[in-house]
Amino acid sequence: MVKNFEFDSIVVGGGGAGLRTSMQLAGSGQSVAVISKVFPTRSHTVAAQGGIAAALANVSDDKWLWHMYDTIKGSDYLGDQDAIEYMCKNAAEAIYELEHMGMPFDRNADGRIYQRPFGGMTKNFGESSISRTCAVADRTGHAMLHTLYQKNIELKTQFFIEWIGLDLIRDEDGDVLGLIALELQTGDLGIFHAKNTIFATGGAGRIFQASTNAFINTGDGLGMAARANISLEDMEFWQFHPTGILGAGVLVTEGVRGEGGYLINSNNERFMERYAPSAKDLASRDVVSRAIAQEVLEGRGIGANKNGVYLTLSHLGEELIDEKLPGIREISIKFANVDPVKEPVPVVPTVHYMMGGIPTTLNGQVRDGVKQKEVNGFYAVGECACVSVHGANRLGSNSLLDLIVFGKAAGQHILDSSKGKKLKKLPNDVTKKTIERLKKIDSKSSLEDPRELGEELRAVMQKHCGVFRFPQLLNEGLVKVNELKQRIENISIKDNSKVFNTARTEALELQNLIEVALATMASAKNREESRGAHSRSDYPKRDDNSWLQHSLYNPKDGSLAYRPVKMKPLSVKSFPLKERVY
């Protein structure tokens, strides 16, 4: 059965970015629907721990310009300076709005929002660490997501919950006219015909074996965009968070180091002093992750396999840990069998965040391919988008900020620009390709098992595209992922029932993961330099002469094109290129 819906705007994804966008649109007289694969508060924003950055200056003097500099430096100069200015300048207002909605921020003694130090966040252009990250204990994402969902309840936003997006609807002009989605509870298809389609589908960390990401982070938006021939930007840049729990992969916030925790190797040495003499444990994430990987390579790892390091925080005392890091204590006891009040937590760099994504303008409008023309009716916000504020490496506590600043910007742009806009006619046979794909999955024609292929894919990505990247491994990896792509086109499931068939969902997700993996591997193989999170053994240095440019992966033929980094901010002077030292 196919159900038909018409809306002015549809938001695909119910995490922080999607809910901030829908909030902007709701109450404006527009008809809006949020379509989400999971109940909105189950979205992965919920797992963000440490906080959200903004130069509120609640603890010490601070300026958004300093935040801007830190973000540019953190991005290893690959972030676009106009987008970064926009985000940092609008950060404080975005935080105050969250507070006005009721977000339960921690407070200073004077009643203002509590802020903690975070990696790469400094005062006076790199002078020393600064408290800029606004926090709700170590549950900031949870508090933010629930607050945004609650605001949407107040505004009576319409939700389609447990519907998974399958394909974008694009007409022959290339305009986006909505989405084809599958209702999990019934197995029915829905055609969502809309003037504006906003993707807020989140990340895709599940292309890797060891990931802090939730099971739902399967790059559905990127898969749909790729199938609709929309280029993906900067996909070689994946953030490895320095402190995932060894073995389990569960995230331990950078806020631990912000509050004074530090890393030690098997010799009990605070090794970050060697790698980042000034910022030490609060250097940016790519730097800390590489340092840990180096310690492990040189035999100073801890644990049975000597493949991690310790994060120690017992010196902070039980009282502070229980007040500021209660979730970390809970997680460490459950997943690492250690109580951080007494013992250090074994950690290892773990895939955490996708810096790349669907290319967009500052208004969230999707930019198509090399021509950089905007796609009519199509927006992307949050982790699935690449605006690009994070460049080659995201600073901790800038991701929650990205969601709300650009979620709002996209919503506002839609309101400002869609007056008088009419629904275009849907193309004929709009569901044809989608139905063919679904039939194939149901056909039982092949012996290709989605679960096995998923495991294979994750193993290949883990081995061939890790913290350090090697030319031969990248070459082989690309061949392997291409082979897997062929096989994944032929997957089929054993159980063909309609109602809440999660085997079907997982098969569909795998067809999105493979698009992300291919884009990642191809972009990584092509970029012959080391920048931010992309670190190559054969090109160990940043090469601004050749590579100060964004990768644009074309999913149609796997080719790559490039566009220059925007070095010109909106209103302030450009921050010139510098060597990046912490």
Partner 1 sequence: MKISIYRFNPDKDKKPYNKVYDVKRVDSDTMLLDLLIKIKAMDDSLSMRMSCREGVCGSDAMNINGKNGLACVTKIDDLKKPIVIRPIPGLPVIRDLVVDMKQFFKHYDSIDPYLKSKKPPPKKERLQSPEDRKKLDGLYECIQCGACTTACPSFWWKPDKFVGPAGLLQAYRFLVDSRDDAKDERLENLDDPDRLYRCHNIMNCADVCPKGLSPSKAIAGIKKMQMATKKPKFKTLKKIFHVQESKK
Active site residues: 285
Cis peptide before 530 (omega within 30 of 0): no
For partner 1, the closer CB: 408 or 580: 408
- Residue 411 class from Cβ within 10 Å (0-12 exposed, 13-18 middle, 19+ buried)? buried
DSSP assignments along 476-504, one per residue = HHHHHHHHHHHHHTT---S----TT-HHH
Number of residues that bind partner 1 (CB under 8 A): 59
Site string for partner 1, 143-162 (x = CB under 8 A): x--x---xx-xx--------
Distance of CA 194 to the CA centre of its chain: 26
**Can residue 188 be called a binding residue for partner 1 (CB under 8 A)?**
no
Nearest CA to 143 out of 24, 256, 49 is that of: 49
Closest contact distance (angstroms) between CB of 165 and partner 1 is 16
CA–CA separation, 178 and 222 (whole Å): 15
Q: Is 64 in the site for partner 1 (CB under 8 A)?
A: no
Between 343 and 544, name the residue whose CB sits nearer to partner 1. Answer: 343
Single out the segment in contact with partner 1 by CB under 8 A; choices: 91-99, 226-234, 352-360, 408-416: 91-99
318 is a site residue for partner 1 (CB under 8 A): no
199-228 residues near partner 1, rule: CB under 8 A: 214-216
8 Å CB contact between 141 and 400: yes
Question: Is residue 72 classed exposed, middle or buried when 0-12, 13-18 and 19+ CB atoms within 10 A define those classes?
Answer: buried
Exactly one of 26, 88, 207, 493 binds partner 1 (CB under 8 A); that residue is: 493
The residue type found at 65 is: L
Q: Phi/psi zone of residue 223: left (φ > 0), alpha (ψ -120 to 50 degrees), beta?
A: alpha
Least Cα distance to 252 among 285, 206, 287 occurs for 285
In terms of CB distance, is 417 or 446 closer to partner 1? 446
* Residue 299: CB minimum distance to partner 1, A: 24
Q: Which of 439, 444, 451, 578 binds partner 1 (CB under 8 A)?
A: 451
- Choices 44-52, 80-88, 172-180, 286-294; region in contact with partner 1 by CB under 8 A: 44-52
| Nearest CA among 25, 44, 46, 45 for reference residue 34 | 25
502 binds partner 1 per the rule CB under 8 A: yes
Cβ 185 to partner 1 shortest distance, Å: 6
With CB under 8 A as the contact rule, the residue among 335, 468, 470, 562 that binds partner 1 is: 335
Contact 246, 303 (CB under 8 A): yes
Closer by beta carbon to partner 1, 143 or else 169: 143
CA distance 291 to 269: 13
User: Interface residues with partner 1 (CB under 8 A)?
Assistant: 38-39, 41-44, 46-47, 56, 92, 95-96, 99-102, 104-113, 136, 139, 142-143, 146, 150-151, 153-154, 185, 214-216, 247-248, 250-251, 327, 330-331, 334-335, 451, 493-495, 497-503
